[in-house]
Each structure stands twice: as C-alpha cells, then as structure tokens.
Copies of this chain bind each other. A is one copy, B any other.
C-alpha cells in the first residue's frame, strides 16, 4: 500500500500528483472513514458533556433524563445516516447538500445551504480546536490555563500548514482517528467489565461534588424546554455527518456503495461511543455544571472561578483507567489530535465547497481552478480569522461556541432531505420499473422522515438556542448569502455585457490596420529585444516613442539611435512637467482620433526581477502606463520581458508555488463531469 509508505515524503515535500498517478488518490474505505468521519466522530468528545451541562440547571436529579436524551440523539443520528445513504447513491458527484438543494429546491435553497455550510466550517474550526484544547488541558494544566492563547496558536499553526500547502494525507488522519476510536472502545469495554464482571466502583474526579440547581423544582413546560435544550446540545454529535456525501468522488469504485457503507460504519461507531460515554458518565457519577464556579459544590462550598471543568470523556477515562495512567494520557492526546484534525477538515472542505460555488459563479472564478494559491489563501485566512475571532470573543469556551454550531448543520440537513423527497417525486413520475419504483418509494420515505425529523430538530434548536448564540450563526449565514448573491449578480451582468453577438456584422467596427509603438527610454538590451520582436510582428506601421523628461538624456538617446543606425523612426514627446504617462496617453488618443479604424499596439520593454524590493525600483512607470492604456479602446499592450539575473530567484519561487497543494485536493478527487443547473451555462 503506497499510501502509508510515502506519508513522510508527502508531508514534508507535498509534491503535486501527476495525472498518471490519478488512481492512487482514490481512497479505500479504511482511509476514507478517518478522512471524512474525523469531524463526526470527534464530536462525541464534547456532545455528552453538553447534555449533562444543560441538565444540571435543574439539579443533579435531572441527570436521569440523560439516557432518554441520548436515545433521542441516537434516533436522529440513525435517521440522518439512513437519509444520507440515499443522498450518496442519488448524488455521487460530491456536490453534497448544496447540489441536492440547488437541483431540487432551486438556487436560493442551494445558496442557503452553502451559507450554512460556510458558517459551519468556521464553527468547526472554533469548536473543535477549543474542545481539543480542553481535552489536552486535562493532561497538561498549562494549556487550560491559557486556553485562548493556545487555541489561537493551534488555529495559526493549522493555517500556516494549509497556506504552505501540506498535503492532506489519508494516513495522517487514519492513525489518530483509529487510536481515538479504539481507545474509546477499550474504555467502554473495560469500564463495562470492571463494573459488571468485577463489580468495581469507578468514581470520576467529580463524583463527590454536588450541584446547586439554578432552578429548583423545575417542572411542566420549563422542564420540557430544558430537556429540549439538552437534546439540542446533544445534537452537536451530528456535526460532520454530511462530510461523506461531499466526498463520494474520492472513494474507490463502486463509489456510492463504498460511501454508503462508510457512512453506516461511521454512524454505528458514533452511536456506540456516544451511548457508551454517557452510560459511563452516569455510572462514574461525573458532575458538570453550566456555571461550575458558582453551581458546583465541593463539600458544600462552590469550587470558585479557579476550578477547571474537565470534559466528560477525560473524567470517564480517569475513572476507568485511573487519572494520569498511560491509557488516560494516550486517550487525552488522541482526542485532542482528532479534534484538531476535525478542525483541519474545515480547511480542506472549504476549498471544495468554494470550488463548486465558484463554478456556479457565487464566488470568484479562480476558486474553481486548482493551484490558484492566492484565492485559496484568501479563503483560508478568512476562515482562520473568523474562527480566531469567535474563539477570542467566546473566551475559548466550547460550551458557548457549541450554541452557535448546530443551527447551520440542521439547516443544511433539512433542506437537503426536503430536496431528496422532491428528487424521488420527480423520478417516480417517469420511472416504470416496479422494483425500482419500490426502491424509490422506500428511499423517499426515509428522506421524508429525515427531513421531518431534522426540520423538527432545527425548530427546537432555534427556539432553545436563539438567544444563547444561534442568532450569531444566522447573522453569519445572512452575510455569506448576501455576498454570494452580489457576486453572482455581478458575473451575470458582465456575462450579459460581453455576450458575443450571433452575427459578426453587428459587432463594432473591426480595425483594419495596426500601428505599433515601441516605448524607449534608453538603448539597452531590453529595448533592443522589444524592437526586434516588434519588427517580427509585421504591423502596418512601426515607430519608437520616447518621452523627454531630461533634455540631456533625450539628446544622448537621439545620438545613439543614429549612431547605431536603428531602422525604426524615433519620435520624442515633450513633457515639460516630467510626466511620462500623460504625453503617451494623449499621443495614442491622437492616433486613434486620426484613424479610428486602426488599432494601436503599444510594446513595452519590461525588466523581470526576482525580489519584491527590486520591483519598487523598476517597471513602475511601465505599470502605471499599462494601467492607463487599458482604459483606452482600440489598444493592445504588449510586454516584452527581459529576464535579469536576479529573476532566477523568482523563477524558483514560482515553481515552488506551482507545486503547492491546494487544501482539499484529496477529498475532492479527480475532475469529473458534474451535472450543472442549466442557468449556469453561457
């Protein structure tokens, strides 16, 4: 298996894959699972704690609701996985929820899903890294004492890695994810064995703590609301489930089947881990409070603001393996690492979604093609900046950040499933084959239930979380939506403006002759090269043009011109104010006025230098002039580059840039034809 052996090289060098090695980039299921599921699986590291936190508002007695809430989350998880199994079969192109919504519900629904997903990427980074820091902090106190600093540092590290273009490697994901999954399973099994077979009493570090209920004797509607809120928080476990549906093209064949199997496997793993961790948390008497400093009592006294509330998973690990034991440390490290990888999936997922949105002209076109490092870099910096901002604003508190997280996920779940129902309806209208029809009706039922349930959860989330932070996520979605709409409108307007007329005759007057002008400041190699090239082009007339900013220099130029016998007429423009651009522009405009049917070709010798500070010393006048000439109709501007020795440095840099790996290359898979909505054409 070549994938595992050349990992170090890939990480260190990150060489771009050549097209003849294309097959290799397709992922087997055992690698695809960690690549696409690290986000979903890692969320079991924080979801159980969130449930307990919310329940603690009603006091310790409310903890007994937690199995029921876990059950509800499991039902949703089961439904969502079953629904997305339909998606990957019906839409194997990797467009994911965006494509499903766009195709079946129209571009506005699609754009809503896209906005929700973009917000999700930001929150995936913020929540995963914050949670990873908290898990790491249970082993290394320094980290949790400087949460914001450490979280921002990890964001910075991931950003730099992705800007430099470290290749997303399947194996990079595989090892920590499997260590994490196996670790959690060993913990559950060992915990069950100790509890059931040995009859040990395992006690979490917080088992002796008491919780002061914020609201005593809560009942009726208030209780229902609290349980719904706990359920909403538990649904954080579902984040990342849709990732597989975006990655179908990266799977080995049969792609859809393999993707569906991976999805099921992921669902089973996530459900087992979630239930196991909540079960062990109850058995080991983990105590968590929303506001621990005030509501968590040690010997009847609040623990105070110095207390750090460890995540459920590390508390359980402490109880089962022993605090600070080898397995405890391994699990804490693997959890943190998986969470950081989950954050990294956002860095990789963003360009993939960006590429699709760019193809539909909701984002700048250059995001569609690979290797446009600048465009990707801007996206990555935007993503990292927004995530870092949220981390700082919310003090790297994963509980507060999670309030924002779940809205976007369920917006896209709901719209996607609704779209799938329409999809099946449409196909059922034309499908005659009875067995296929039966299959479709079954799929439709699954998607319909999925859409209904996720829609219900969305309502619950919105109602219970709106004031807790969900409004921030909605605001973010609106901003993305408005921006993308504006970009699309601009592209549409331009496309209309530049649309080629069907008959060539109704285009504006075609030029019939070309008048070429070579700009000359001195006689040196770049000028001579430009003159030689200009002669090759055999334009109708050719002249050299210089601007007199210094009479002495101009005189010397004229003399050398004659001495060398250059057979191109030299024209000198006067410039009493030592301007260069204006006299040339005016001369060119004059030419155009005299013979409007002629095109003017302006040929500029340019130095090519290697360092940015050299750019400041050269070509500035040429650049300014070019910028101005472009606004004059009927002009072509030709650069004849002359490579100075120092340009070698830039050449090496450019080559290195070219070999840069765009984030998301692995999960995007090779180019394949994607069905497009008709309105994108033309």
Contacts and interface: CB of A to CB of B under 8 A. Distances in A.
A223 interface: no
Nearest to A579: B371
A359, A490, A536, A644 interface centre (most CB from chain B within 10 Å): A536
A643 interface: yes
Contact of A636 (B487, B533, B616, B628): B533
Interface string A596-626: 0001010100111000001011101100101
Interface residues of A, number: 102
B370 A579 contact: yes
A617 B372 CA distance: 13
Contacts of A513: 536
A578 B621 contact: no
Nearest to A627: B654
B631 A536 contact: no
A617 B487 contact: yes
A538 interface: yes
Nearest to A642: B498
Contact of A630 (B491, B556, B641, B671): B641
Interface string A284-295: 000000000000
Contact of A617 (B490, B574, B577, B642): B490
A552 B670 contact: no
A426 to B, nearest CB: 21
B631 A643 contact: yes
A510 interface: yes
A556 B532 CA distance: 39
Interface stretch (A124-132, A383-391, A521-529): A521-529
Interface string A113-147: 00000000000000000000000000000000000
A211 to B, nearest CB: 53
A645 B16 CA distance: 40
A16, A22, A497, A681 interface centre (most CB from chain B within 10 Å): A497
B644 A576 contact: no
Interface stretch (A69-77, A159-167, A315-323, A361-369): A361-369
Nearest to A495: B524
A503 to B, nearest CB: 10
A372 B624 contact: yes
A375 interface: yes
B364 A617 contact: yes
Contact of A16 (B17, B507, B527, B577): B577
Interface string A476-516: 00000000000100110011011111001001001111100
A551 B673 contact: yes
A370 B538 contact: no
Interface in A539-561: 539, 549-552, 556
Nearest to A603: B636
A486 to B, nearest CB: 9
A206 interface: no
B500 A578 contact: no
Number of this chain's copies in the assembly equals 2
Contact of A368 (B497, B507, B549, B629): B549
Contact of A673 (B494, B552, B614, B635): B552
A22 B497 contact: no
A81 B640 CA distance: 53
A355, A512, A642 interface centre (most CB from chain B within 10 Å): A642
B538 A524 contact: no
A526 B621 CA distance: 26
A641 B650 contact: no
A64 interface: no
A658 interface: yes
A475 interface: no
Given A549-B671, A676-B552, A366 B621 contact: yes
A598 to B, nearest CB: 9
Nearest to A19: B576
Contacts of A552: 673, 676
B372 A620 contact: yes
A637 B19 CA distance: 28
A272 interface: no
Contacts of A498: 524-526, 607, 642, 644
Nearest to A513: B536
Contacts of A491: 617
Interface in A626-682: 626-631, 633, 635-645, 647, 650-651, 654, 658, 665, 670-671, 673, 676, 681
B644 A631 contact: no
A434 interface: no
Contacts of A374: 620, 624
A537 interface: yes
Which 5 interchain pairs have the tightest Cβ spacing? A19-B576, A630-B641, A498-B524, A366-B620, A638-B638
